[in-house]
Amino acid sequence: MGITTIAFILLSLMAIGSAVMMISSKSPVHSVLWLIVVFFAISGHYILLNAQFLAIVNIIVYAGAIMVLFLFVVMLMNLNAETEPIKNYRLRLIGILSGGSLLLVLIAAMMKIDVAQPVLMSTGDSGLIKVLGHALFTNYVLPFEISSVLFLSAMIGAVIIGKKE
Amino acid sequence: MNMVWLIPILPLIGFLINGLGRNSLPKAVSGFIGSITVLASFVLSLLVFMQVKAGNFHQTLHYFDFIRLESFTIPFNFTIDALSSLFLLIITGVGFLIHVYSTAYMHEEDGKDYAKYFAYLNLFVFSMLLLVMGGNFVVMFIGWEGVGLCSYLLIGYWYKNEAYTDAAKKAFIMNRIGDLGFLLAVFWLISKLGTVQYDEVFNAANLAKLTATDITGITLLLFVGATGKSAQIPLYTWLPDAMAGPTPVSALIHAATMVTAGIYMIARSNALFSLAPITQSVITVIGLATALLAATIALRQYDIKKVLAYSTVSQLGFMFLALGTGNYVAAVFHVLTHAFFKALMFLGSGSVIHAMGGEQDIRNMGGLHKHMKITSITFLIGCLAISGIPGLSGFFSKDEILAGTFAHSPLLYGIALFTALLTAFYMFRLYILTFSGTFRGTHEQEHHLHESPNAMTIPLIILAILSVIGGYIGVPEALGGHHELAAFLSPVVKSTTHHLSHNTEYILMAVSTLLVIVSIFIAVFRFRRYSTEQNNVFTKWLENKWYIDELYDAIIVKPIRGFSNFLNQFVEKRIIDDAVNGVGRAVNYGSRQLRWLQSGQVGAYVLLMVIGMLLLFIIQLFL
Amino acid sequence: MDIKAYIILSLTLFTIGVIGVLVRRNAIIIFMCVELMLNAVNLLLVAFSKMHAMSPAAKALPTFASDAQIFVFFIMVVAAAEVSVGLAIIVMMYRNIHSVDINFLNRLKN
């Protein structure tokens, strides 16, 4: 059991545990916080895989910007544990069961893979910002530019939707 | 003769013209058409009769194949011989007189109903002609059913009255019960002999193929059919109720023709019946019992038509008595004479009812002789004929029946003689109460009394004449005649009665005549000065027709109604309705559940998406 | 580490996200679960990229293995844009019906 394996297991447990806490906590604010923990765990995974750029971007963009936005909206609506609506018991059960079955089916499908495919951990160039940047600005420059247009349209859209007419 | 087919077709054409044109034809025209077709058939029947009498016509005329199967064919043919030509004359002759009578009797109806009446009457004549002219049992059955239908239509002619339509239904249903017997007999014949043709069935060689059980079974079943059609025990209760129809209908259908169909059928099949002694005993007993029962009931009836109806049942019983003792010729003879005097009396009663403005209760009549001489005298002739006074037609036919019965069994003769005495008694009771004495009705009725128009009285006169002279074709040898009727019918109808010595016959005739005259005198004296008849227990029983209708109601009608109610409650309502409703409810329930799918709830949609995805994965990956 | 471990981890996170969507009625929480799903996918993609980095083809082409990571990058881009618009819609919804309960969103009924 190398250090990477232990780290992997710890991070995985953290991620799954926080995800479960996220979906089951009554207060929306708590759910947001738990999701942030999940994101940190995933970033940890990224670092373990030596995808440094993505790890940092994940934290900055997701945990930093997107989750903060969520938190703003939750605070704006003053949501807390008492006002939280709860779904019918039977429907929740059905939901959990279907999700569980989905998981089982997919894992069962996955188990059919016979060949062991190892993953390069902790090393490798592919995650370095230099390599990524190079790929981004040569092969994928068009999507990069268009993504700026995407942001523009999202911004305009958000402003228009939110206008008080 | 190639025009034989016209005989039934002419009334059929009359039916079509009157039936289809009933909304537009004026009354005089429909009456004329109805009567002229029957007259034309009568003329043709007369020509046919002459030819048969001359001896050069006895054949089967084939027209087409009615039913064609692999194993056998049922052709549609007419058989013209002595028996059928005689009946043809009766049907068309008496029928024509009754049509003429109806033109006056029914003239208060409005044009549409008037034409409908004549249409039905013509249809009846057509069916009856088919019945007697048919060359095999199936064609006879067509006519058999047709007359049953027309009887229903005509009894219920005044359809707005529910009691009348009930009577019509009763008649039809009882007929049908009998018809089942008839049909079973025909099926039996087909299965054993493969044919229903008269000349083939009554062929001695074919008859030899049938076992005793076959013959007894077939004849008994045929007799069941006859009890339905000719109103014998146990299927006779429809005939008194059938008096709900117009009086000419009662005269034609329920006195002269339809009810004689059973006798015709048995006379036609005499070869078969002569081989079935058990059936013959059954017929004898039932015929005699019916005659006696009906006569006793007639003693205490107050409706003029009901007395005549029970009288008809009784006389039919006599005819069956004759058939049962093998005296087929006597039965046919009595059919002939009975047609004359019973039709006469029915038409006479119609004349009385017409004069009394619709009143039918004889307790409210009396002394009508002063006002309606022709009706009264012809009615008297009818009464004398039915009583069997020597010289009139009824004497010869009735005496022949009685003689045949005596040869068979003196005990039965005694009962038959007693019934004949009762006949005379109640007929004269009817006559005295209606026509002599003092009028007991209301004042307006008395003012209204008048003799009927010529169209009604002339048929009465003609029938009266026939009632007098009609017997002379059957004068027995004992009295010096040659019994021409027997000779005429002999190729077809063979009587199997024992021969009596002439002395015995004289004694029988004398005894019956004497007793009948005594009976008439008793009736006349008893009812001359009429006061209300006292009812003791016995007569109350008679007045209520021996409670037979009530008995039938209790043992047949009520259980069947109860059973059908049960079926309605349980099978219909619970099982079938619930099944059908259940399907509806299930669909409703299902759709209500399925409607949840379209709830508009996003959550539900997502759930369905996930479940769909799951199913797709499963199918893709594992199946 | 075998790729199977990453696949199982990613699938687990994904289904937890699915269950979250099915179980909760608050629109915002549901949205967050969608983000969780996206992240699970991101993780898997990065794992695959590193898996391919082990293959011989990667030696030839240095950027071979980083295609998946670029893809992850763009997923994040789109997720960010989507979050902004989505939250704007949720705020609109809150303004109209004063609740974020999805059971009130049944205009698609019938």
Q: Which residue has the higher pLDDT, C21 or B436?
A: C21
In 3D space, the residue among A29, A34, A30 whose CA is nearest the CA of residue A78 turns out to be A29
Q: Residue B464 corresponds to which tokens in the numbers above?
A: 């009266």
Number of CB pairs, chain B paired with chain C, less than 8 A apart: 28
User: What's the Cα-to-Cα distance from B33 to each of A139, B36, B88, B118, B143, rounded to whole Å?
Assistant: 110, 5, 20, 8, 22
Number of CB pairs, chain A paired with chain B, less than 8 A apart: 26
User: Which pLDDT belongs to residue B551?
Assistant: 80
Q: Do A102 and C33 touch (CB under 8 A)?
A: no
User: Which pLDDT belongs to residue A33?
Assistant: 94
Each residue's pLDDT tens digit, B76-131: 888 888 888 889 888 999 999 999 998 888 888 887 888 889 999 999 999 999 99
Range B394-398 average pLDDT:
87
* Max avg pLDDT among B57-61, B391-395, B499-503, C30-34: C30-34
B555 DSSP assignment: I
For an interface test with A, which of B596, B605, B610, B623 has the most A Cβ atoms less than 10 Å from its Cβ? B610
Range B476-484 average pLDDT:
67
Cross-strand bridge partners of residue B77 = B62
User: What's the Cα-to-Cα distance from C10 to each of A23, A55, A103, B308, C77, rounded to whole Å?
Assistant: 17, 16, 10, 107, 20
pLDDT band at B504 (very low <50, low <70, confident <90, very high): confident
Chain mean pLDDT for chain B: 84
B610 neighbourhood in chain C, CB within 8 Å = 18, 22
For an interface test with B, which of A87, A88, A94, A102 has the most B Cβ atoms less than 10 Å from its Cβ? A102
Which range among B227-236, B473-482, B495-504, C91-100 shows the weakest confidence by mean pLDDT? B473-482
pLDDT tops 60 at residue B136: yes
User: Which pLDDT belongs to residue B503?
Assistant: 80
User: What's the Cα-to-Cα distance from A64 to each of A17, A32, B291, C71, rounded to whole Å?
Assistant: 21, 12, 119, 20
User: Which pLDDT belongs to residue A100?
Assistant: 92
Each residue's pLDDT tens digit, B509-554: 888 888 888 888 888 888 877 666 666 667 777 777 777 777 877 8
User: Which pLDDT belongs to residue B594?
Assistant: 76
Separation of alpha carbons A46 and A37, rounded Å: 14
User: Within 13 Å and on the Cβ side, how many CA atoms surround B52?
Assistant: 28
Separation of alpha carbons B482 and A128, rounded Å: 145
pLDDT band at C109 (very low <50, low <70, confident <90, very high): low
In 3D space, the residue among B90, B52, B66, B191 whose CA is nearest the CA of residue B138 turns out to be B66
pLDDT tops 60 at residue B157: yes
For chain A, what's the residue count? 165
CB B263 within 8 A of CB B213: no
Separation of alpha carbons B28 and B161, rounded Å: 26
Distance from CA of A87 to the nearest CA of C (A): 6
CB B339 within 8 A of CB B90: yes
Q: Which helix (H) or strand (E) holds B67?
A: strand B59-68
How large a percentage of chain B has pLDDT more than 90?
17
Measured in whole angstroms, how far is the alpha carbon of residue A164 from the centre of its chain?
32
Q: Where are the domains of chain A?
A: 3-127, 128-165
User: What's the Cα-to-Cα distance from B297 to each of A122, B314, B333, C61, rounded to whole Å?
Assistant: 124, 10, 25, 126
Q: Residue B206 corresponds to which tokens in the numbers above?
A: 């074919």
State the amino acid at position B365 in one-letter form. Answer: M
User: Which pLDDT belongs to residue B56?
Assistant: 64
Domains of chain C and CATH, by start: 3-104 (1.10.287.3510)
User: Which pLDDT belongs to residue B70?
Assistant: 78
How large a percentage of chain B has pLDDT more than 70?
96
Q: Do B621 and A98 touch (CB under 8 A)?
A: no
Q: Any CB–CB contact under 8 A between A161 and chain B?
A: no
Residue A135 CB-density burial (10 A; 0-12 exposed, 13-18 middle, 19+ buried): buried
Q: Classify domain A3-127 by CATH architecture.
A: Up-down Bundle (1.20)
Separation of alpha carbons B302 and B299, rounded Å: 9
Q: Residue B84 corresponds to which tokens in the numbers above?
A: 């059928």
User: Which pLDDT belongs to residue B435?
Assistant: 86
- Shortest CB distance from B602 goes to which of C18, C102, C110? C102
Q: Exposure string (b/e) for B415-435, b if CB count within 10 Å is 16 or more?
A: bbbebbbbbbbbbbbbbbbbb
Chain mean pLDDT for chain A: 87
Range A135-162 average pLDDT:
91
User: How big is the CA angle at B506 (ends B500 and B509), to the nearest 5 degrees?
Assistant: 105
Q: Which helix (H) or strand (E) holds A9?
A: helix A3-24
| Chain A residue nearest residue B606, CA to CA | A95
User: Which pLDDT belongs to residue B361?
Assistant: 84
pLDDT band at B183 (very low <50, low <70, confident <90, very high): very high
Distance from CA of A10 to the nearest CA of B (A): 30
User: Which pLDDT belongs to residue B390?
Assistant: 85
Range A138-162 average pLDDT:
91
Range B334-360 average pLDDT:
88
B24 DSSP assignment: T
**Following DSSP, what letter does each residue of B302-352 receive, concatenated?**
-BHHHHHHHHHHHHHHHHHHHHHTT-HHHHHHHHHHHHHHHHHHHHHHHHH
User: Which pLDDT belongs to residue B131?
Assistant: 92
pLDDT band at C45 (very low <50, low <70, confident <90, very high): very high
Each residue's pLDDT tens digit, A24-77: 888 899 999 999 999 999 999 999 988 889 999 999 999 999 999 999 999 988
Separation of alpha carbons A96 and A99, rounded Å: 5
Each residue's pLDDT tens digit, A63-88: 999 999 999 999 988 877 767 777 77
State the amino acid at position A142 in one-letter form. Answer: L
User: Which pLDDT belongs to residue C88?
Assistant: 92
How many other β-carbons are positioned within 10 Å of the β-carbon of residue B526?
A: 14
Chains touching chain B at 3 or more Cβ pairs under 8 angstroms? Answer: A, C
User: What's the Cα-to-Cα distance from B382 to each of B249, B326, B350, B431, B619, rounded to whole Å?
Assistant: 18, 27, 14, 10, 98
Q: Do B621 and A105 touch (CB under 8 A)?
A: yes
pLDDT band at A18 (very low <50, low <70, confident <90, very high): very high
Looking at the whole model, is its pTM more than 0.90? Answer: no
Cross-strand bridge partners of residue B303 = B361
Q: Any CB–CB contact under 8 A between C60 and chain A?
A: no
Each residue's pLDDT tens digit, B553-566: 788 888 888 888 88
pLDDT band at A17 (very low <50, low <70, confident <90, very high): very high
Strand pairing class (B73-80; B59-68): antiparallel
B134 DSSP assignment: B
CB B148 within 8 A of CB B179: yes
Each residue's pLDDT tens digit, C50-95: 888 777 766 667 677 788 889 999 999 999 999 999 999 999 888 8
User: Which pLDDT belongs to residue C77?
Assistant: 93
pLDDT tops 70 at residue B255: yes
pLDDT tops 80 at residue B477: no
Residue B344 CB-density burial (10 A; 0-12 exposed, 13-18 middle, 19+ buried): buried
Cis peptide leading into B240, omega within 30 of 0?
A: no
Separation of alpha carbons B445 and B49, rounded Å: 46
Q: Do B602 and C21 touch (CB under 8 A)?
A: no
